[in-house]
Amino acid sequence: MRFGIPVAWLQLKQDKLRLLVALLGVAFAVILILMQLGFQEALFSSAVRFHNTFRYDIVMISPKTKFMGQPSSFTRRRIYQALSHPNVSDVSGVYLGAALWKNPVNPSDSRLVYAVGFDPSNDDLLLEGVEGNLDRLKMADVALFDRKSRPEFGPVPALLEANEKATGRGVFTEINDRRIQIVDLYSLGTSFGVDASIVTSDVNFLKIFPDRPVGLIDLGLIDLEKGADAQAITQGLKESLAADVEVLTREAFVQREVDYWNKSTPIGYVFNFGVIVGIFVGSIIVYQILFADVSDNLQEYATLKAMGYSNGYLFGLVFQEALMMAVLGYIPGFLITLTLYSTASAATQLPLEMNAGRAVGVLLLTIAMCMISGAIAVRKVRTLDPADVY
């Protein structure tokens, strides 16, 4: 009783409807913040899926490439020049581009698919389904399809399973008006800029894109000798190579893509703004509830002050109410968000998952939000004079 916890709880639950409104407001703010942060993290994670699945220590790209969904090409000679460095063990070029995919069930339905072409003699893609099909990719006019692509591109996994059982052959479709056989699947997933993707050999890629010059690539992968200093070699290559290529470490390459989506597009701003709106809405609701509670109980606070209780004790009551509202509102908001994450992830194939850092961070943010609201609402108690009330 000395610390006022029972008093704060009894005061908080006195008006059950008001308490319910407060908890709903906090829960709504928690859901909004967690969803915005979840989608933001899903955006960043999905945007660098290929960045993380290629095997390399250093990468070359064109300075004109803003993001990997719309790459610019550069001459293949640059990766061969890098191979002359004593600490570079291997190099390879990758082709990237968007191609017109025809739905194998409904050929009149055409959509853009993200195509990746690489030399299957090099084990450059560390993807389940790709590593075991390198020999098959050397065949003419074949490709692998991402099983996690959007369903609008056709039921390719189901068709592939049915065709292999019936005829032992894959699924045939047209990509850029060229007949291509999908021989197997890999698992990657979509992103905000890519709804579906295929992987094929560099030779087949150039057949799909007949206007693409052989000597122009979109990505240069550089492997280093074991123990080599990637930062130092990257700096050395920057100084020795022409300015028509940008040389990046693996970490810098990933961060470059994240920075593009976060700073150069409205998407990053929208998600950050959504978090701010959630905090603002929750703060206003909690403030209104606590202010109304303080106003309704001014006589009780005045009586306690007349009995000798300090302002600190009375402030503690209000802050304890704010803490209880934060925790009690966070719990249903968190549980509802988990359900929404699962539903949204299944519908979009985006990596929308909860993690401990985000869960704890939003809990602390919710507590801080409620505490700040409580600090504003309790100002009336500070100047309260029992004589004025009675």
pLDDT by residue for the chain (390 residues), tens digit each? 444 457 677 777 777 888 888 888 889 989 999 999 999 898 899 999 999 999 999 999 999 999 998 899 999 999 999 999 999 999 999 999 999 999 999 989 999 999 999 999 988 898 888 988 999 999 999 999 999 999 999 999 999 988 876 677 889 999 999 999 999 999 998 888 899 999 999 999 999 999 999 999 999 999 999 999 999 999 999 999 999 999 999 999 999 999 999 888 888 788 888 888 888 888 888 888 777 777 776 676 666 666 766 667 777 777 888 888 889 999 999 999 999 999 998 888 888 889 999 999 999 999 998 888 888 877 766 665 555 555
Structure tokens at 2: 């000395």
pLDDT at 155: 94
Residue 304 CA to residue 336 CA, distance in Å, equals 40
Global pTM reads 0.81
pLDDT at 223: 95
Query: In the chain, what are the domain boundaries?
Result: 5-46+266-389, 63-244
- State residue 258 phi and psi, 5-degree precision: -60, -45
Residue 369 CA to residue 279 CA, distance in Å, equals 7
| Bridging pattern class, strands 219-224 and 58-61 | antiparallel
Residue 365 CA to residue 369 CA, distance in Å, equals 6
CB crowding 300-336: b at 16 or more within 10 Å, else e: ebbebbeeeeeeebbbbbbbbbbbbbbebbbebbbeb
Handedness of CA 249, 250, 251, 254 (dihedral sign): positive
Orientation angle between helical segments 266-296 and 298-306, nearest 10 degrees: 60
Residue 102 CA to residue 104 CA, distance in Å, equals 6
Name every residue whose Cβ is closer than 8 Å to that of residue 305 and which is 6 or more positions away in sequence.
Answer: 311, 314, 384, 386
Tell which residue, 231, 254, 246, has the closest CA to residue 78: 246
Tell which residue, 59, 68, 100, has the closest CA to residue 258: 68
Coil vs helix vs strand at 130: coil
pLDDT at 339: 95
- Please compute, for residue 157, the number of CA atoms within 13 A of its CA located in the half-sphere on the CB side: 12
- Where does residue 360 rank: exposed (0-12), middle (13-18), buried (19+ CB within 10 A)? exposed
DSSP letter, residue 66: S
pLDDT at 302: 67
